[in-house]
Each structure stands twice: as structure tokens, then as C-alpha cells.
């Protein structure tokens, strides 16, 4: 282990870092590549590993980022800029190289430089591991936000955890999901810079001691704690074509020096190593849960570790320039909490201000509630975080005391507003009483924040009407909506160069940083020649996707067929099951000879199930079994192909979205907070089949109902129907659904595995089925028929495709960030100093 002793301080010469700017031309790139490859990495022409070519290229690109990184930081410092910090347990970054080249303006010259060396960029880029430091939409959203903030020149820093193991790798064995560890750092990560000079110390356990300070004021202090170190690793976040480079700072846990010395010397070698391991375990692995909480102690340790390290880092920087004068701290800093995962920030900021910086409660509370803002990402009860009071008491005793005090003061405010309403006080308490009292983290986040937002219009409305209604009545001014987006750099310009090229040829390149300009494509939907070229690009992208499907799944997708795609985490509320019921229905139609006017279809489903989520895992198995029966049936042939695409991840989506015709967004209405895959597909010219859920509603508003295949109950109708839901009657009255259920129940898809789908079948037939699969089946079928009919009319389909891209301007995270900045952060855009 690296030693964390202080190194001797140097007095650097003023011109130590004063260097001429690096060349941005092919020749300079070639020269730097050779130097890194030969000297720094020590390879020669006998080396056949793409990894070293990749590393040499990255080191050259990183140098160019480094110049701009410093120029950006100096400009922020010179402007004494107000800054925002995006705190998230997840940043699902995917690969960095392609995006860095695009944003630096090197996507033309880098491939040329490599060509000079007899290398191919596409091949070399494949050597990069995805940084899979997130589960799904919430983690990818954080990554898109960073890209947009840099592009908008907003001083925003991401704070997260440097997991040693990211999202597990998924393989499929006999149709079952098998998880493998993702040791993404094994070959090193050339994008990160370790910064031991900014290490922070994080406490766990111990107890609080009260004492009188020199002014005679009673204060708390956390003693007898077991501490770990938080070591920061910085990753550069370049803006698009603007010289800005922001920072993503990821924390790694390490044992403190005391562990090593004290216990080694006491002859407790194994104990010392074990303690060291425990410290380093904190950032070992990402919890693979999406929209369901784990309740594990290690997860709470991760959350507090991130919150404390990040807050201390910002406070230390503040003190470095302002000393102990915090009078303008709230004016200059704002923290955005990505869901409740970093909500330990509320009591931790109070603790730091009171115990370490000698603030009284009221002043500390004023600063805390003026600097924290909270984003909610889900209404699902199983995702709402609650931690046992007991766990807080042993792990974070000082925080628990502060939470109790926050609760007492805030419940007094509730009592003043609603005198005598003890039921409401019980309901709104930060502590849920019961045999195992729990801390309600969402309530803690609301009470400690000046802003609370949902992630799509419907979701934000449902929050104020349901889950957070009491709080909305108390503080209506805190609540607001911020509809999600995705970054058009990665999700259109980067992943779909052919379409991007065609678009730029017609409307110029301005759309990349101003996506509303895509609206200028709309009139071109009437131009037959343009439609022809659009269709040709889509076909090329479908061929590319078909090659990937062939490589991964050994199944032939014919590019003439309708490519029907659902990729996202596997969850009952997302209803991959409804999709597969439709697939079974199509198969049934082929088998009973009802294939007049048939439209060939290739169905792709992909996504990971949380390892402990058995129902989700059964759904994966069902999809695989159905796929096998269908793909092997010669009577079906090219009419229908079905695959479960393994290990769905950011890099796979970069091929999937451009090659998709029909985007499946079929969650039970009211359950999907926003969705962001829906936006990636739309941008790439896919047409959506979807329910009135999350951002689908806004997508349909933008594109017009004639360019969207709507089906299913609305959120209100779902609520209403729940009371009298009777799937048996629905199945009995619907011949198509009855036949689908019959095929499932007679074991047609599990001939040698009796009973394995019984739980799925029972769920569909259960009047308590939360996801109401049977209720939406008929309406889904009809929408699918319409989609097939529209696809048959190729002109009509291409028009719809163009209009979807043209209407996707709202779903850029540039717009989302402008909204956050206008209503919550209020930062100034700061231009970086020029790299001379
Ligand atoms: O956030 C996306 C939305 C999407 C929503 C997702 C979300 O489902 O509709 O587009 C971006 O706003 N993810 C989570 N909640 N909502 C989420 C993710 C990971 C989690 C978690 C909730 C991990 C844990 C708990 C809850 C855990 O304990 O490991």
C-alpha cells in the first residue's frame, strides 16, 4: 500500500508549469502517440495488444484536456464563481475516448493520426472498458448532466465513488442470468489523476462527547471513532468545442496510517490487515440494485463516506481562500443530491459546521438549508430509503443525535401549522416508529433542502399529490419539476455519425450544442430525396446492429424487418413480460396461419436483473426460452426473430439506439419516474410505442400523437382499476390473451423444465397484480398492429422517424441543466482562460 506520509514541500519556480500549448493537428498527435508508446509505455512493434495503443492515444488526448482543465479552474477561481456540486452514488460514464475526441474537436484528426501509424481508431477504442459505475437511468443521467454542464460552461463538479468493481457483467447460461465481477480497473485507468494532496478523513462508530469550548459554549465532538481515508481521483469532463474542462472527483477508501503502525507493532498483524481490508471494502463494489434498496450496512457506509468526503473537500477549499469566514458560503455553493443516496449530507453538514467550525444550531441550519437541493427519482415504495435507527446509532452516532434534533425542531413547526394534528406529526416524522424504528431518508432530504424536484412533469405532480403531499402543503415553494434529458453529444453526434452527418449537411452543425435546431428537419420530412437518404442511414445502422446481434447471440436479424427493441433494467413495473406476451401472440398467429399482410419483426430485449430479484430473473429465463422456441421453428423463419441481448450497457446502447425502429416504453402508468432510454431512441429516429408514463407524455406532446403509438391505462385509471381488477375475466374474454396463457400454461416454452414459470403465470392472473399486465394487453396489441401497418408504408414510417428526431430538442440535458440553473443553482457561465 502506498504510504500517505507528508512529502517535503517544494517552492516551485514560477515558470514550472508555463508551457506552450500542445498541437491539435495530425502531426502532433502522431508524435505524441509514438513518444508515449515507445518511452512511457515501453512497447515496440512486436506488441500486439490494443491496450497499449489505446493507452498511448489516451495519454496524448489527456494532455490536451489537462491544459484546458487548468485554464478552466483558473477562470473559476479568478471569477470567485458560485459553484454547484452534483453528489451521486452512481456515475455511469461508459467509455470516455470517443466523447473526449468529439468534444475536443479531434474526431477528424485522431483517426487520421492513427492511420499514419497503420492503426484504426475503431479497433483501438474497443480496448476501453466501460466505466460502469452505475445501475441504470439514475447513474447515466448523472453522466449526461456533467457533459451538459461543461458544454454550458457551468462551474459544476461531480462527486462520486471510485468503485473497484462496477456493475456486474451479465452472461446467459441455459437462459439464466449469471453475474460476473467487473474488475474494470485491472489494466489501469488512464483518464484518472490521483490527488493524495486532497485526502479526507472519515469517521465511523465511536460516541459523542460533550464539552465546553474556550467560550464556555457546550459542544459535541465525535470520539473513539474508527477512521478511514478518502482518496480523491479526478476525471476530466470536457465541454463540447468550448475549452471548458470540469471535474468528476471519485473517492476511494483506504486504511489510515494508524491502523498499520499501531496494530502492526502491537503484534496484531492479522487483526491489522483485517481492519485495513474493512476500510478498503467501503469502495470495493457498486450495489447492483435499481429502484430497490438493499438495507445493507456497507451501503450506508458508502453513502456517508461520499457525503462526508465531498462536504469536507468543499469546506477545506472554502477555508483555503476565505479562512473561517462562512458568511458568504451559502451564496457561493450549492449541493444537488442525486436521490436520497447522499442524504447523510443534511446531518453531516450540520455536524461539520457546529462541531468543527463552531457554529450555533440556527446559523448552521440556515447554511445547510440554503445550500442543499434534492432530486427524487422514484415513487416506488421499495426504492424509498429507510435506515434502522439502531444502525445509525452504532455507525454514525453523532449524526443520529443531529437527526433527532432536526426532527424535534421541525415537528414543532408542523405542530404550529396544524395544532393538535398528532396523526400528521406521526406521519411526517423523520423517524418511523415501530418494533424497528427507521430514519426516513426522503423526509430528511426534504426538510434539509431548499429545493425538491421530480424528473418529469407527471412524476413531479404525483409527488406533490401523493408521496410528499404533507410536505407540499407545508412548503409548496420548495417543489419543482425538472424533466430529464440525455446528452446529444454521446447520444446522437457520437453514436450515430451517419445520421449526424446527414443532419449537419442540411441544417449545419449548430444542433450539437443547441438541440432545438433539430426542429428545422421537420419540413424535410416532406422531401422524398431526404427521406430516401434518411432511410438509407437507418438501414446501415440496422446492419451494424444486426452484426452485433449475430456476434453476441448467433441469430440473424434481417435489416428489412421491423427492429422492435426494449432495453433497460429488468423490473416488473417496466413490463418486459407484456412485451414477451405480445411476442408469444405473434408466434401463435404464425402457427395458426394468420400471417396475411405480415410484417417481419426482429425483437431485441436486454437488461440486467438485480441478483436477488428472483421474479426479474425468471422473466429473463422466459424471454430466452420463448426466443429459442421461436428462432428454431422453421415455420416461423424470417417472420419473427427474438433475442435476449446479454450484458446491456452504455456501449451497447450506442449501437442499439441508432439501429432501432420501434422503441418499447411500456411501463405501468405512474411507475416510471421519467425514463431516459425513451429519449435516446427518439433522438435516433425510432418511433415510440408507449404508455402515458414518465417523460413518454412529454415525448408525445412534442412529436404529436400521430407519430407515437399510445396504449394502456393512464396513471389515474390504473389507480381506479386497482380496486376492481379482475384479470381472470379479462383473459377469458380475450381469445388472443387466452391462447397466449394456454401456451404458457401447457409448458410449451419449458417442456423439460416443468413449473419454472408458475410464479410468472400466477402473477398475471393475480387480482393483486400491481403492474396490471392483463389490463393493458388488448390495447398494447392494437398499438402493435398499428405500428406494423405504419412500418409497411415505408414513406410514412420514414416521415415519422424524421419527425421524432426533429422533435427531440427538449430532451437534451442542455435544456435540463439550463432549467436546474435558472431555478435552483443560479450559477454564472464562466469562460475558461484561453489555451494560448
Ligand atoms: O431514475 C431515472 C429515471 C427512471 C428511474 C430511475 C431511478 O426509474 O425512470 O429516468 C433518472 O431520473 N433509479 C432509481 N430510482 N429511480 C434508483 C437507482 C438505484 C438505487 C435506487 C433507486 C439503488 C438503491 C436504492 C434505490 C440501493 O440501495 O442500492
**680 catalytic residue (yes or no):** yes
Q: Which residues contact 289 (CB under 8 A, 6 or more apart)?
A: 135, 610
558: pLDDT strictly greater than 90: yes
Q: Which residues contact 499 (CB under 8 A, 6 or more apart)?
A: 492, 534, 537, 538, 541, 658, 684, 685, 805
**Cα–ligand 1 centroid distance for 378 (angstroms):** 6
State the Cα angle at 463 between 458 and 467, rounded to 5°: 140
Q: How far apart are alpha carbons 579 and 24 in whole angstroms?
A: 49
Q: How many C-beta neighbours within 10 Å does residue 42 have?
A: 9
Q: Confidence class of residue 9 from pLDDT cuts 50, 70 and 90?
A: confident
Say yes or no: CB of residue 139 within 6 Å of ligand 1: no
Contacts of 20-24 with CB under 8 Å at 24 or more apart are 20/836, 21/67, 21/835, 21/836, 22/63, 22/64, 22/67, 24/64, 24/104, 24/105, 24/106, 24/109
The pLDDT value recorded for residue 155 is 98
Choice among 459, 639, 680, 810 that is catalytic? 680
The pLDDT value recorded for residue 259 is 60
Phi-psi group of 826: left, alpha or beta (phi > 0 → left; psi -120 to 50 → alpha; rest → beta): left
Q: How far is CA 103 from CA 106, 240, 493, 511, in A?
A: 8, 4, 10, 14
- Residue 232 pairs in a beta bridge with 251
Q: Give the three cell numbers for residue 310.
A: 465531498
**Which of 134, 137, 296 has most ligand 1 atoms within 8 Å of CB, for mutation?**
137
**Cα–ligand 1 centroid distance for 34 (angstroms):** 44
Say yes or no: CB of residue 378 within 6 Å of ligand 1: yes
The pLDDT value recorded for residue 265 is 65
CB 38 within 8 A of CB 60: no
**569 catalytic residue (yes or no):** yes
Tell me which DSSP letter residue 574 carries.
Answer: G
The pLDDT value recorded for residue 420 is 95
CB 783 within 8 A of CB 642: no
Say yes or no: CB of residue 693 within 6 Å of ligand 1: no
**Cα–ligand 1 centroid distance for 376 (angstroms):** 9
330: pLDDT strictly greater than 50: yes
Say yes or no: CB of residue 230 within 6 Å of ligand 1: no
Q: Confidence class of residue 721 from pLDDT cuts 50, 70 and 90?
A: very high
Say yes or no: CB of residue 299 within 6 Å of ligand 1: yes
Q: How far apart are alpha carbons 120 and 110 in whole angstroms?
A: 10
Global pTM reads: 0.97
The pLDDT value recorded for residue 258 is 66
Say yes or no: CB of residue 667 within 6 Å of ligand 1: no
**676 catalytic residue (yes or no):** yes
Atom of ligand 1 nearest to the CA of 291: 22
**Which of 290, 292, 481, 483 has most ligand 1 atoms within 8 Å of CB, for mutation?**
290
**Cα–ligand 1 centroid distance for 569 (angstroms):** 10
Q: How far is CA 729 from CA 57, 585, 738, in A?
A: 63, 19, 10
Q: Confidence class of residue 2 from pLDDT cuts 50, 70 and 90?
A: very low
Say yes or no: CB of residue 486 within 6 Å of ligand 1: no
Q: How far apart are alpha carbons 351 and 361 in whole angstroms?
A: 10
- Tell me how far the alpha carbon of residue 765 is from its chain's centroid: 34
Say yes or no: CB of residue 664 within 6 Å of ligand 1: no
Say yes or no: CB of residue 141 within 6 Å of ligand 1: yes
**Cα–ligand 1 centroid distance for 340 (angstroms):** 10
The pLDDT value recorded for residue 260 is 58
Q: Which residues contact 377 (CB under 8 A, 6 or more apart)?
A: 137, 138, 338, 339, 383, 455, 673, 674
Backbone angles phi, psi at 667, to 5 degrees: -60, 155
Say yes or no: CB of residue 293 within 6 Å of ligand 1: yes
Say yes or no: CB of residue 564 within 6 Å of ligand 1: no
The pLDDT value recorded for residue 1 is 38
Per-residue pLDDT tens digits for 229-283: 999 999 999 999 999 999 999 999 999 876 655 666 667 778 778 878 888 999 9
**Cα–ligand 1 centroid distance for 629 (angstroms):** 34
3-state secondary structure 111-157: HHHHHHCCCCHHHHHCCCCCEEECCCHHHHHHHHHHHHHHHCCCCEE
Per-residue pLDDT tens digits for 433-453: 999 999 999 999 999 999 999
**651 catalytic residue (yes or no):** no
**Cα–ligand 1 centroid distance for 290 (angstroms):** 5
Say yes or no: CB of residue 300 within 6 Å of ligand 1: no
Per-residue pLDDT tens digits for 761-808: 999 999 999 999 999 999 999 999 999 999 999 999 999 999 999 999
**Which of 134, 288, 299, 673 has most ligand 1 atoms within 8 Å of CB, for mutation?**
673
Q: What share of the chain is helix, strand, coil (3-state, %, to 5)?
A: 50, 15, 35
Per-residue pLDDT tens digits for 454-494: 999 999 999 999 999 999 999 999 999 999 999 999 999 99
- Give mean pLDDT, residues 69-98: 98
Q: How far is CA 530 from CA 140, 398, 524, 687, in A?
A: 33, 65, 6, 18
Atom of ligand 1 nearest to the CA of 672: 9
Q: What's the mean pLDDT when you consider all of the chain? A: 96
Atom of ligand 1 nearest to the CA of 455: 12
Q: How far apart are alpha carbons 252 and 279 in whole angstroms?
A: 10
Atom of ligand 1 nearest to the CA of 294: 28
Q: How far apart are alpha carbons 373 and 488 in whole angstroms?
A: 26
**Cα–ligand 1 centroid distance for 815 (angstroms):** 21
When mean pLDDT is compared across 15-29, 154-168, 668-682, the lowest value belongs to: 15-29
Nearest to 163 by CA among 178, 182, 147: 182
**Cα–ligand 1 centroid distance for 679 (angstroms):** 17
Radius of gyration of the chain, Cα coordinates, nearest whole angstrom: 28
Say yes or no: CB of residue 36 within 6 Å of ligand 1: no
Q: How far is CA 68 from CA 57, 155, 177, in A?
A: 18, 14, 43
Nearest to 813 by CA among 148, 140, 96, 102: 148
**296 catalytic residue (yes or no):** no
- Residue 157 pairs in a beta bridge with 85
7: pLDDT strictly greater than 90: no
Say yes or no: CB of residue 289 within 6 Å of ligand 1: yes
CB 487 within 8 A of CB 148: yes
Choice among 377, 398, 440, 621 that is catalytic? 377
Amino acid at each position: 500500500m502506498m504510504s500517505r506520509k507528508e512529502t517535503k514541500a517544494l517552492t516551485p519556480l514560477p515558470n514550472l508549469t508555463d508551457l506552450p500549448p500542445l498541437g491539435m493537428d495530425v502531426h502532433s498527435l502522431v508524435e505524441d502517440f509514438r513518444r508515449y508508446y515507445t518511452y512511457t509505455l515501453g512497447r515496440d512493434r512486436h506488441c500486439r495488444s490494443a491496450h497499449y495503443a489505446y493507452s498511448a492515444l489516451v495519454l496524448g488526448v489527456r494532455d490536451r484536456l489537462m491544459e484546458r482543465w487548468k485554464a478552466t479552474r483558473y477562470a473559476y477561481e479568478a471569477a470567485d464563481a458560485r459553484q454547484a456540486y452534483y453528489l451521486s452514488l452512481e456515475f455511469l460514464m461508459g467509455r470516455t475516448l470517443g466523447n473526449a475526441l468529439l468534444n475536443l474537436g479531434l474526431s477528424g484528426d485522431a483517426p487520421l493520426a492513427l492511420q499514419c501509424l497503420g492503426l484504426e481508431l475503431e479497433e483501438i477504442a474497443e480496448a476501453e472498458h466501460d466505466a460502469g459505475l452505475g445501475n441504470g437511468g439514475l447513474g447515466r443521467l448523472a453522466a449526461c448532466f456533467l457533459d451538459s454542464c461543461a458544454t454550458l460552461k457551468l462551474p459544476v463538479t461531480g462527486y462520486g465513488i471510485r468503485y473497484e468493481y462496477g456493475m456486474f457483467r451479465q452472461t446467459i447460461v441455459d437462459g439464466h442470468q449469471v453475474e460476473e465481477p467487473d474488475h474494470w480497473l485491472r489494466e489501469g485507468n488512464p483518464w484518472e489523476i490521483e490527488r493524495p494532496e486532497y485526502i479526507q478523513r472519515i469517521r465511523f462508530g465511536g460516541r459523542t462527547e460533550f464539552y465546553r469550548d474556550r467560550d464556555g459554549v457546550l459542544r459535541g465532538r465525535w470520539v473513539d471513532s474508527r477512521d478511514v481515508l478518502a482518496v480523491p481521483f479526478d476525471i476530466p469532463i470536457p465541454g463540447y468545442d468550448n475549452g471548458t474542462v470540469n471535474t468528476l472527483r471519485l473517492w476511494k477508501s483506504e486504511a489510515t496510517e494508524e491502523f498499520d503502525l499501531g496494530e502492526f507493532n502491537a503484534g496484531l498483524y492479522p487483526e491489522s490487515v483485517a481492519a485495513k481490508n474493512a476500510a478498503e471494502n467501503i469502495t470495493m463494489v457498486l450495489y447492483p440494485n435499481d429502484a430497490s434498496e438493499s438495507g445493507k450496512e456497507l451501503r450506508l457506509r458508502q453513502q456517508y463516506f461520499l457525503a462526508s468526503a465531498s462536504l469536507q473537500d468543499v469546506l477545506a477549499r472554502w477555508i483555503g481562500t476565505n479562512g473561517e469566514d462562512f458568511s458568504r458560503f451559502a451564496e457561493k455553493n450549492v449541493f444537488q443530491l442525486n436521490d436520497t443516496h447522499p442524504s447523510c449530507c443534511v446531518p453531516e453538514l450540520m455536524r461539520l459546521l457546529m462541531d468543527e467550525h463552531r457554529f450555533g444550531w440556527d446559523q448552521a441550519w440556515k447554511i445547510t438549508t440554503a445550500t442543499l437541493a434534492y432530486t427524487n427519482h422514484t415513487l416506488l415504495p421499495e426504492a424509498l430509503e429507510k435506515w434502522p435507527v439502531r444502525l445509525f446509532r452504532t455507525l454514525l452516532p453523532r449524526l443520529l443525535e443531529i437527526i433527532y434534533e432536526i426532527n424535534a425542531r421541525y415537528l414543532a413547526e408542523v405542530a404550529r401549522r396544524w395544532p393538535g394534528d398528532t396523526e400528521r406529526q406521526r406521519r411526517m416524522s423523520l423517524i418511523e416508529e415501530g418494533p424497528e424504528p427507521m430514519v426516513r431518508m426522503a423526509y430528511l432530504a426534504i426538510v434539509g433542502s431548499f429545493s425538491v424536484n421530480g424528473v418529469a412533469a407527471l412524476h413531479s405532480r404525483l409527488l406533490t399529490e401523493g408521496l410528499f403531499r404533507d410536505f407540499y402543503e407545508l412548503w409548496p415553494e420548495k417543489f419543482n419539476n425538472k424533466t430529464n434529458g440525455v446528452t446529444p453529444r454521446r447520444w446522437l453526434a457520437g453514436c450515430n455519425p451517419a445520421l449526424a452527418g446527414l443532419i449537419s449537411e442540411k441544417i449545419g452543425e449548430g444542433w450539437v450544442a443547441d438541440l432545438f435546431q433539430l426542429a428545422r428537419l421537420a419540413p424535410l420530412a416532406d422531401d422524398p430525396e431526404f427521406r430516401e437518404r434518411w432511410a438509407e442511414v437507418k438501414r446501415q445502422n440496422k446492419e451494424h446492429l444486426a452484426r452485433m446481434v449475430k456476434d453476441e447471440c448467433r441469430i440473424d436479424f434481417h435489416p428489412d424487418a421491423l427492429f422492435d427493441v426494449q432495453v433497460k433494467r429488468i423490473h416488473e413495473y417496466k413490463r418486459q413480460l407484456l412485451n414477451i406476451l405480445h411476442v408469444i401472440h405473434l408466434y401463435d398467429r404464425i402457427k395458426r396461419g394468420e400471417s396475411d399482410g405480415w410484417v417481419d419483426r426482429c425483437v431485441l430485449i436486454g437488461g440486467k436483473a438485480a441478483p436477488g430479484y428472483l421474479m426479474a430473473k425468471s422473466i429473463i429465463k422466459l424471454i430466452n426460452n420463448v426466443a429459442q422456441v421461436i428462432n428454431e421453428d422453421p415455420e416461423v423463419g424470417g417472420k419473427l426473430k427474438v433475442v435476449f441481448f446479454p450484458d446491456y450497457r452504455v456501449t451497447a446502447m450506442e449501437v442499439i439506439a441508432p439501429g432501432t425502429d420501434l422503441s418499447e416504453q411500456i411501463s405501468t402508468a405512474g411507475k416510471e419516474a421519467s425514463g431516459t432510454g425513451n429519449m435516446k431512441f427518439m433522438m435516433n429516429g425510432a418511433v415510440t410505442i408507449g404508455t402515458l408514463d414518465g417523460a413518454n407524455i412529454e415525448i408525445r406532446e412534442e412529436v404529436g400523437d400521430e407519430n407515437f403509438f399510445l396504449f394502456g391505462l393512464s396513471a389515474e385509471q390504473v389507480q381506479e382499476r386497482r380496486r376492481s381488477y379482475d384479470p381472470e375475466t379479462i383473459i377469458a374474454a380475450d381469445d388472443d390473451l387466452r391462447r397466449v396463457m394456454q401456451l404458457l400454461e401447457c409448458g410449451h416454452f419449458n417442456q423439460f423444465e416443468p413449473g419454472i414459470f408458475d410464479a410468472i403465470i400466477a402473477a398475471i392472473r393475480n387480482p393483486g397484480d400491481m403492474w396490471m399486465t392483463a389490463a393493458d394487453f388488448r390495447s398494447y396489441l392494437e398499438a402493435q398492429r398499428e405500428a406494423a401497418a405504419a412500418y409497411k408504408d415505408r414513406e410514412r414510417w420514414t416521415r415519422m422517424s424524421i419527425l421524432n428526431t426533429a422533435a427531440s430538442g427538449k430532451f437534451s440535458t442542455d435544456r435540463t441543466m439550463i432549467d436546474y440553473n435558472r431555478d435552483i443553482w443560479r450559477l454564472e457561465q464562466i469562460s475558461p482562460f484561453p489555451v494560448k
